[in-house]
Amino acid sequence: MKFCQYSLTAVFLMGGVSQVLAEQEGSTSPATPLQEITVTATREGELKAETPASVSVVKEETLKKMRPTHPKEVLNQVAGVWVSNLSGEGHSTSIRHPLTTSPVYLYLEDGIPTRSTGFFNHNALYEVNVPQSGGIEVVKGPGSALYGSDAIGGTVNVLTRTPPAKPELELTGEAGLFGWGRVLASGGTTVGNDGFRGSVNLTRTDGWHDHSNYERQAANARWDHYFGGDAMLKTVVSYAKIDQSHVGEMDGTDFAKNPQKNNTPLSYRQVEAFRLSLNFEKEGRDSLISVTPYYRHNVMEILPNWSLSYDPSLYTVKNDSFGFLSKYRKDFEPLRGRLIIGLDGDYSPGSFVEDSIAVTKQGTVYTGYTQTKRIYDYEVTYSSLSPYLHGEISPWEGLRLTGGVRYDSMRYEYDNKMANGAIVGAAGPFPAGGFYGHVPDGSVSYSHLSPKLGATYAFHPDLHGFIAFNHAFRTPSQNQVFRGSRETLAGRAQVAAQSLLDLKPVKVNNLETGLRGKIDKLDFELALYEMRKKDDLVSYRDPATNQRTVVNAGKTSHQGAEIVLGLQLAPEWRVDSSLSYTQHRYEQWVVSGTVDYSGKEMETAPSVVANSRLTWSPSFMNQGRLQLEWVRLGEYWRDAANTSQYPGHDLINLRGNYPINPTLEVYGSVNNVLDKRYAETSSLSGTQPTYTVGLPLVALVGVQARW
């Protein structure tokens, strides 16, 4: 697929649908999704119809009705998004990329990154109180021109709930299979110029797999103070503590006959996250000033299951952040001109301590470990200063042009607490225990310019199209730069560690066109994109020296189409569907002197992802509903050589809620109704398939009281 083909298709559709709408009478409707206001794509409240980007919104009302037990339950309803459950609330994500744990996504809470660049965690959403949030916005594709590094595949912005206008209290209790239990509490009020809301989330489960228990304690508080004169201060405090066991992959025999087995019961993760932000805004007749200082604290202790077979270790990573977001917006007449000037800053000191461990096994199960030797102990501080410029103008009615540019100046300051040289690792499966490379104290700097251009056009009040170009990048994470791999010889370990200091940011160019509209009772959205990534990180062994090398040598292409449809079949019946068809390919990917994956399809990259929901809302259910959901994940290659395929799977889910009266509501859900055996992820170990097993039939019931 090529972008020019996408563009011609979109233009044809725009013209055809525009003609149909022009022939209709009274086609406009107050319910049209084009009237939605979104805040993520431009960091400013803006009509979705005038946003030149693919933006999907999970509304607060949807979260209230679904009460998701895992973020995947709501995010997988978004076209082009696939989130897998990696036990507990852990997850890997696919947004215009293969399913990955790499830092190609940016996770926000009220527009503020939940973690600092360089300290990315692919499980970032478990640090956010998703079920008690005020909605989620997903911007698909690059967002670096406004957000900086990491926003390559997409940006996920979880919004906090606004304080209620009058006193309000919600108490919720849930119970389900496999020891699931959750208590949710939320309440608040507004007194004079001050609005308050607080929420608490207490969750636990024994887990379906052996030794897969999970506990979570989370809390949020928000205080909105209005000064008068169009000025306000919003204070948000968020806290989360997670303690969970990991469930690793298993072979095909266990997948078929013993899927509850956990081969890595000793693996665990303990996380603590705290965030505080103060957003001051003062809006004039045609201007706005916004300043948002914030503080973040993240600690994670982890014994990773994925490296037990080749580099077993236990490590702790800590990170504190002191930063700010600031902007000044000025509106001009005529031509509805708008100019936004901003400056973001981030100062994030952190540390990384890792010990090698010696593990014991019984058959395929890891049963215990002992800490043997400290292999890394360093402090690293990430800092950045990033000015940006964003402008909008309407040369004539119906056309909206946007453009922007951001300059990021970034730096790592590294302080090695150990000897500046290769050290011997602990005994393990690697010959002679292996060696780890260390580099002397120092610094690494990066700078990057990220432009964007876009346009939206209203062909009809109920038909809008857009086209956009975005450039994005991401810097190497701190552990990619300062944490080398285990090598057989000390000299190789040291050379490999030194070479990591020369890594460059990964870069992406994205072209996209789209169409949004409404025809009678049908809402629809279409997006077509082509994204090309270069300077991607490739890890391989040099055939001449047998030395492991990580370099910026990869080039990949990512192309696809995303469709969203919503049809009101009758007053009580509605169907909603999302579909994405994608192709992810290695354009240049030389792993070694003899292994070249160039031209191959990327692994763990399903071409088809679909979600359809049939909702019945009869009058006797008091605005409650029953919803039947079909989830489709298409086949994908398990390996980069394209030798083995996972066949994909189909799942059926059922959920419903019934308000007994304005105060009391009962609800329930059954996921995987047909109790289908499937894999959340599947890959190869040598030539044999391995599986991260998905959950079987899981049911829960809950009750909520409101006052």
pLDDT in tens, 353-391: 999 999 999 998 999 999 998 999 999 999 999 999 999
Using a pLDDT cut of 70, give the percent of the chain over it.
92
Residues 6+ apart with CB under 8 A from 534: 506, 507, 508, 554, 555
Q: Is the pLDDT of residue 114 over 80?
A: yes
Angle at 552 between CA 386 and CA 413, to 5 degrees: 45
Average pLDDT over residues 115-137: 92
Determine the distance from the C-alpha atom of residue 451 to the mean position of all C-alpha atoms in its chain, rounded to a whole number: 22
Tell me, what's the pLDDT at 215? 96
Give the three-state DSSP class for 627: strand
Q: Is the pLDDT of residue 543 over 60?
A: no
Give the Cα separation of 526 and 13 in Å (integer). Answer: 10
Give the three-state DSSP class for 437: coil
Average pLDDT over residues 418-431: 66
Question: Mean pLDDT score of the chain, rounded to an integer?
Answer: 90
Q: Is the pLDDT of residue 573 over 50?
A: yes
Tell me, what's the pLDDT at 428? 55
- Looking at residue 395, the DSSP 8-state letter turns out to be S
Please give the residue that has the higher pLDDT: either 487 or 30.
487
Give the three-state DSSP class for 165: coil
**pLDDT, tens digit (0-9, with 9 covering 90-100), for 213-222:** 999 999 999 9
Average pLDDT over residues 539-546: 60
Q: With CA atoms as reference, report the closest residue to 93 among 180, 178, 151.
A: 151
Torsional sign, CA 278, 93, 602, 583? negative
Rg (CA), the chain: 25
Tell me, what's the pLDDT at 32? 58
Residue 256, Cβ density class (10 Å: 0-12 exposed, 13-18 middle, ≥19 buried) = exposed
- Looking at residue 340, the DSSP 8-state letter turns out to be E
Query: Do residues 410 and 446 lie in contact, with contact meaning Cβ atoms separated by under 8 Å?
Result: yes
Confidence (pTM): 0.92
Tell me, what's the pLDDT at 6? 43
Tell me, what's the pLDDT at 187? 97
Q: Is the pLDDT of residue 190 over 60?
A: yes
SS (H, E, C) 658-683: EECCCCEEEEEEEECCCCCCCEEEEE
Q: How confident is the model at residue 497 (pLDDT cuts 50, 70, 90)?
A: confident
Give the Cα separation of 306 and 179 in Å (integer). Answer: 26
Q: Amino acid identity, residue 16?
A: G
Give the Cα separation of 48 and 38 in Å (integer). Answer: 6
Residue with tokens 């394209």: 642
Q: Is the pLDDT of residue 17 over 60?
A: no
Angle at 652 between CA 648 and CA 653, to 5 degrees: 130
Tell me, what's the pLDDT at 27? 36
Using a pLDDT cut of 90, give the percent of the chain over it.
75
Number of Cβ within a 10 Å radius of residue 9:
16
Q: With CA atoms as reference, report the closest residue to 340 among 355, 321, 325.
A: 325
Average pLDDT over residues 32-41: 80
Tell me, what's the pLDDT at 3? 46
What is the fold of 3-706? Maltoporin; Chain A (2.40.170)
Determine the distance from the C-alpha atom of residue 483 to the mean position of all C-alpha atoms in its chain, rounded to a whole number: 24
Q: Is the pLDDT of residue 20 over 70?
A: no
- Looking at residue 25, the DSSP 8-state letter turns out to be S
Number of Cβ within a 10 Å radius of residue 363:
7
